[in-house]
């Protein structure tokens, strides 16, 4: 669980963002939505320990700023929006997800290898385990990094726009994977721009606007706040109820 209280964060020489209070729980998929520049990625980077902050961010009961990078990585795995095409193969990348659990020698154990294999299977990258990241498409590379995050085995997973570069079929598969991870007890916090996807698959949604976290609730609760959604997002949403649709929620004026 990640609990924020009276958090002020941002970039040096830039504008500040405030999160008066927020709670991200295990066993749920929570989306962070908002217009460009509203602070979505800043929020994730701060919870991942990559930005300084005032106030309190507690990861599983411990203050984020007081944890070592390895200890923090054992509690929360973070996948940024921009991914490097490093000169390594997919399996080596996924093995990096286990380093937070190793000592200085970083020796892979049988348990580590099992978790790496399982993570590659779940992310659908086993078939190209030996291919270099530079030889993958954007969507394939995204899934390889997702496998690394799964192998990290942290109770909380922070994802910044994970569907970037993915085709519609891969996007649906990703959301179903996130749902299955949440059902197994992991907490997922993901930045999303596609509102029908977000409202269709997520348990809770947090809205960033005007440099602050202004609302959180279930899709149904937020959909009833049409004025808030139009003011912060420019549109509102409704549930069509059509179970044949992959994403039954639709955008409306």
Domain ranges of the chain: 1-23+35-67, 69-193, 210-253
* Alpha helical stretches, state H, the chain: 40-47, 69-75, 90-95, 110-123, 138-152, 168-183, 195-201, 219-223, 226-233
* pTM of the predicted protein model: 0.92
Smallest Cα–Cα separation from 150: which of 111, 177, 190? 177
Q: Contact, 178 vs 200, CB < 8 A?
A: no
Relative to beta strand 53-59, strand 62-63 is: antiparallel
Q: What is the pLDDT along the chain (253 residues), one digit of tens a residue?
A: 999 999 999 988 788 999 999 999 999 999 999 998 899 999 999 999 999 999 999 999 999 999 999 999 999 999 998 777 778 999 999 999 998 888 656 788 889 999 999 999 999 999 999 999 989 988 899 999 999 999 999 999 999 999 887 888 888 889 999 999 999 999 999 999 889 999 999 999 999 998 899 999 999 999 999 999 999 999 999 999 888 888 899 898 7
Topology of the domain covering 69-193: Rossmann fold (3.40.50)
How many Å apart are CA 251 and CA 237, to the nearest integer? Answer: 5
Q: Is 172 left (phi over 0), alpha (psi -120 to 50) or beta?
A: alpha
Burial of 25 (0-12, 13-18, 19+ CB in 10 A): middle
């Amino acid at each position: 669980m990640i609990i924020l209280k009276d958090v002020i964060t941002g970039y040096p020489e830039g504008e500040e963002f405030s999160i008066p209070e927020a709670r991200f729980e295990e066993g749920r998929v929570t989306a962070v939505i908002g217009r460009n520049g509203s602070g979505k990625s800043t929020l994730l980077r701060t919870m991942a320990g990559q930005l300084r902050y005032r106030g309190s961010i507690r990861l599983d009961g411990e203050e984020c700023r007081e944890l070592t990078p390895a200890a923090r990585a054992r509690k929360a795995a973070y996948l940024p929006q921009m991914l490097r095409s490093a000169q390594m193969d997919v399996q080596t990348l996924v093995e990096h997800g286990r380093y937070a659990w190793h000592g200085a020698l970083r020796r892979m154990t049988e348990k580590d290898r099992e978790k790496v294999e399982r993570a590659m299977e779940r992310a659908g990258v086993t078939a190209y385990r030996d291919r270099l990241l530079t030889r993958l498409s954007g969507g394939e590379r995204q899934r390889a990094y997702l496998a690394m995050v799964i192998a990290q085995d942290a109770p909380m997973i922070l994802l910044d726009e994970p569907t970037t570069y993915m085709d519609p079929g891969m996007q649906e598969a990703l959301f179903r994977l996130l749902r299955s991870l949440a059902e197994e007890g992991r907490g997922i916090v993901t930045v999303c721009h596609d509102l029908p996807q977000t409202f269709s698959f997520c348990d809770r949604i947090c809205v960033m606007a005007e440099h602050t976290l202004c609302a959180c609730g279930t899709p149904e609760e937020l959909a009833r706040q049409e004025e808030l959604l139009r003011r912060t997002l420019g549109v509102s949403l409704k549930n069509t109820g059509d179970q044949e649709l992959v994403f039954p929620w639709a955008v409306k004026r």
